[in-house]
Amino acid sequence: MANRDLFSGVDTNRRRAEEAHGTGWLSRRLFWQGVAALLLFAGVVCLYEQESALGEGVRYVVALAQADEQESMAVNGLADLWRETVAAAKLPQQNEPNPSQAENGTEDEPLNVDSDYQPGEDYLAAAVLNDEGAPVLILPASGLMEGAFGEVTDQGLPLLGLQILCQGEQEVKAAAIGKVTEVVTGERVTVSHTGGVETCYTGALTTEVKVGDVLRQGEAIGRITDSTLFFQVLVDGQPQDPFLFVKGPE
């Protein structure tokens, strides 16, 4: 009795023979395809090496393919550069001021000093100087000039400073960068500057500083209300005309 497949009823010997035939045919097909590819490659190489017009055409096609590949690499490189540039632009700027500080006005204000001044140096080196090496001053307050340096007072004595009638309440400001050396509450403040220069502020002051404080030019020393401020400039202890040093009201 023939050996038959129980499910399909096909003779198993015949099926095996057909499978073997199909496998052999596929192997032969792959073999001849490989041979054809090798022959085609060899033909292209021969044409590429020839000096004929056909060889020139083959070389042109190869060069064009290489150019396309190089152009593609260049485009990819530009794309990478663009992505890096965009990523760098999204990084936070370290030197930008804090918006909350700018809105609240809490950013540090620069000293009115020479550009050569460096933090940690003697504070007196930060003073703005005139051609004679003396500090350039500002008037400590605004108001009516009641008396100028050298004028003779009612007592027959020369006035050794400026008398400024301050109307309303206002700040009394440091005439230049310096260090507070004397505070007499409600009466007088003395500030030492570079070059042996001192400034004295006398009047009905509400003082806001203490001895040892370092003041910027224009920083508040105290406040005065509807009274006269007597402003003196001394060099090595000798009174001088303040207008020799003052550049004008701030």
Domain-wise residue ranges, the chain = 123-249
**167 neighbors 105 (Cβ within 8 angstroms):** no
Q: Residue 206 has what pLDDT?
A: 92
The 10s digit of each residue's pLDDT in 5-21 is 444 554 555 666 556 55
Q: Work out the percent of the chain whose per-residue pLDDT is above 90.
A: 31
Between 71 and 110, the more confident residue is 71
SS3 35: helix
The 10s digit of each residue's pLDDT in 148-198 is 998 988 888 899 999 999 999 999 999 999 999 999 988 999 999 988 899
Nearest-Å Rg of the Cα atoms of the chain is: 48
Q: Which of 221, 222, 182 is nearest to 198 (CA)?
A: 182
Q: Residue 115 has what pLDDT?
A: 37
Asked if the model's pLDDT at residue 36 lies above 90, the reply is no
Q: Which helix (H) or strand (E) holds 44?
A: helix 12-49
Residue with tokens 């502020």: 201
Q: Residue 249 has what pLDDT?
A: 46
**How far apart (Å, rounded) are the C-alpha atoms in residues 149 and 117?**
33
Q: Residue 55 has what pLDDT?
A: 57
CATH number of 123-249: 2.70.70.10
- Mean pLDDT, the chain, whole residue set: 72
Q: Which helix (H) or strand (E) holds 202?
A: strand 197-202
**How far apart (Å, rounded) are the C-alpha atoms in residues 38 and 27?**
17
Residues in a beta bridge with 222: 172, 207
Q: Residue 126 has what pLDDT?
A: 45
**184 neighbors 173 (Cβ within 8 angstroms):** no
Asked if the model's pLDDT at residue 2 lies above 50, the reply is no
57-61, 132-136, 152-156, 168-172 — most confident range? 168-172
The 10s digit of each residue's pLDDT in 195-236 is 889 999 999 999 999 999 999 999 999 999 999 999 999 999
Q: Residue 41 has what pLDDT?
A: 73
**164 neighbors 228 (Cβ within 8 angstroms):** yes
What pLDDT band is residue 135 in, cutting at 50, 70 and 90? confident
Q: What's the average model confidence in pLDDT over 113-128?
A: 43
Number of helices (H), then strands (E), belonging to the chain: the values are 3, 11
Q: Residue 28 has what pLDDT?
A: 74
